[in-house]
Amino acid sequence: MNRIPLPSRDTILSIFNYENGWGFLIKKKNGRMAEETIKINKQGFGVGRVIYFLETGEQPENLKRIDGNYRNNKFDNLTPITEQEKLREGQKRKREEFKESETILKAKNLIDEGYSGYQIYKNLMKGEISHPTFRRYLGDYYESKKIEKKKDFLEQVKDSFLRNNKIGKYTMDEMSIGVETLTEALNLFNIEKQDNLTGNTNNLRHGIIRPDFFEKIDCEENAYFLGLMYADGYVVIRENKPKSTSHLAAISLKSSDDYLLEKFSDLIYGKRLLSKIIYEKEEHSDAYKFSIHNKRICLDLINLGCVPNKSKILQFPTEEQVPENLIHHFIRGYFDGDGSCGIYGEKDKLQFSICGSVFFIDSLSKYLNKKFNYKFSCYNAGNIKVVASSHSQKVIEFRDFIYENSSISMKRKRDIFFRK
């Protein structure tokens, strides 16, 4: 790029004062200081370029400020660069400015709040920041937070191991980890592991205070948590495993709903026995898991209809399994797991939906139709079925029914239903 030549040294100094070491010029006519640009014969010139010319007599195409401060035009801070170098400097300056931008600060705040990179650039900041930009400007920051997160998770593993009398196999099942992760946690916290990772099977039973919790549905608590297990829990029977791990009942919920698992754990164990799940896939949010290693509880759950591999075969419970006077607590538990509610339209109408296996939803919809003398919407959605309604009065009747005399529920759904 060919720049307009500077006026002669004499012309410049006839209009401006300059002394060696200054990073500015002073106009003789009014004494005003010029730090960035000046005009001579209606033509603009950069102050840095003028100072470099006054000091050396040279007029390079481009100048670089060594300290990166483009207002610092002192001669010892100026050095000539090529056009290509100038472009690189400009790009570098833009990158540095972008690092301090509102976009980057917003993304850092979301990382601090626990959101994954995938959630940030795919959803929360879609259109503001791309995947490559995220990796370039936030990769190191994100990785450092992941390391902190991993350490927190390994501490959870360590706590589980100690809580369960150093029964490694129980910890691995409870935390959904392999022996490598368990070993990593124990090494990190300098805990000596047993040669036999399975441990003493009698230790598994020491904490359970209610092995008969699901023997018979006779109260709000076991009716509600049976419903929640129907929706989000599972039962596994592994005959080829040691007795300590052959029977497992478990359930996972989002971190924000962990108080429900805490209540469940307190009813079974008399204390909080939850493990935090940190998913490898970025699109998942962290969750908490509650595991029960107890043959009697697992068999009782199966007898109550919460069978292994239940996704496509789950049936609505019979009255022998869940009495009529407690069925609303069961339905509320199931709704908190596999139901949803919301407010839509200009009139802020309430609506709800519940999904599940074809068998379960067919029976549930028949029950609701009879209960409320109204035919609720029921339709297929892939391999599952859905029962739903947006009829204001019936939605309110359904809401009042499932929350009648209730002391346990998922707060975020209850708040929507009652418009809090």
Q: What is the CATH number of the domain that holds 83?
A: 3.90.75
Same domain, 182 and 315: no
Same domain, 319 and 373: yes
What is the model's pLDDT at position 177? 75
CB 186 within 8 A of CB 180: no
List own/partner pairs for 43-50 with CB under 8 A and 24 or more apart. Answer: 43/4, 45/4, 45/6, 47/23, 47/73, 48/73, 48/78, 49/3, 49/6, 50/6, 50/12, 50/16, 50/25
In a domain, 328, yes or no: yes
Cβ-count burial of 325 within 10 angstroms (0-12 exposed, 13-18 middle, 19+ buried)?
A: exposed
In a domain, 311, yes or no: yes
What is the model's pLDDT at position 203? 35
Q: How many whole angstroms from its chain centre is CA 321?
A: 37
Amino acid at 10: D
In a domain, 115, yes or no: no
Same domain, 308 and 359: yes
Same domain, 341 and 292: yes
Same domain, 130 and 176: yes
Q: How far is the first Cα of the chain from the last one, in angstroms, to the nearest whole number?
A: 65
In a domain, 332, yes or no: yes
- Average pLDDT of each block of 10 consecutive residues along the chain (420 residues)? 83 90 89 88 90 91 84 90 79 77 86 81 83 83 83 85 75 74 83 49 51 93 96 88 76 91 89 69 69 90 94 93 96 96 79 94 95 93 91 92 94 87
- Per the rule left: phi > 0, alpha: psi between -120 and 50, beta: everything else, 236 is beta
What is the model's pLDDT at position 370? 95
Cβ-count burial of 412 within 10 angstroms (0-12 exposed, 13-18 middle, 19+ buried)?
A: middle
In a domain, 359, yes or no: yes
Same domain, 279 and 379: yes
In a domain, 212, yes or no: no
Rounded to whole angstroms, how far apart are CA atoms 240 and 227? 29
Q: How many whole angstroms from its chain centre is CA 246?
A: 32
Instruction: Give every CB contact of residue 327 below 8 A, 6+ residues apart in sequence.
Output: 223, 317, 319, 367
Q: Which of 141, 170, 199 is the last residue in one of the domains?
A: 199
What is the model's pLDDT at position 315? 94
Same domain, 167 and 67: no
CB 294 within 8 A of CB 206: no
In a domain, 103, yes or no: no
Check which CATH number belongs to the domain holding 373 and give it. 3.10.28.10
pTM confidence score:
0.55
Dihedral, CA atoms, 297, 300, 304, 308, nearest 10 degrees?
Answer: 70
Q: Which run of H or of E encompasses 25?
A: strand 25-27
How many structural domains comprise the chain?
A: 3
What is the model's pLDDT at position 355? 95
In a domain, 114, yes or no: no
What is the model's pLDDT at position 260? 95
Same domain, 237 and 384: yes
Q: Which run of H or of E encompasses 170?
A: helix 168-175
What is the model's pLDDT at position 123? 81
Same domain, 92 and 153: no
Same domain, 260 and 346: yes
Rounded to whole angstroms, how far apart are CA atoms 236 and 299? 10
Same domain, 53 and 138: no
Q: Which of 98, 115, 138 is the last residue in one of the domains?
A: 98
Same domain, 142 and 27: no
Distances in whole angstroms, Cα of residue 128 to Cα of each of 123, 146, 188, 331: 10, 22, 38, 42
Structural domain boundaries, residue 23? 9-98
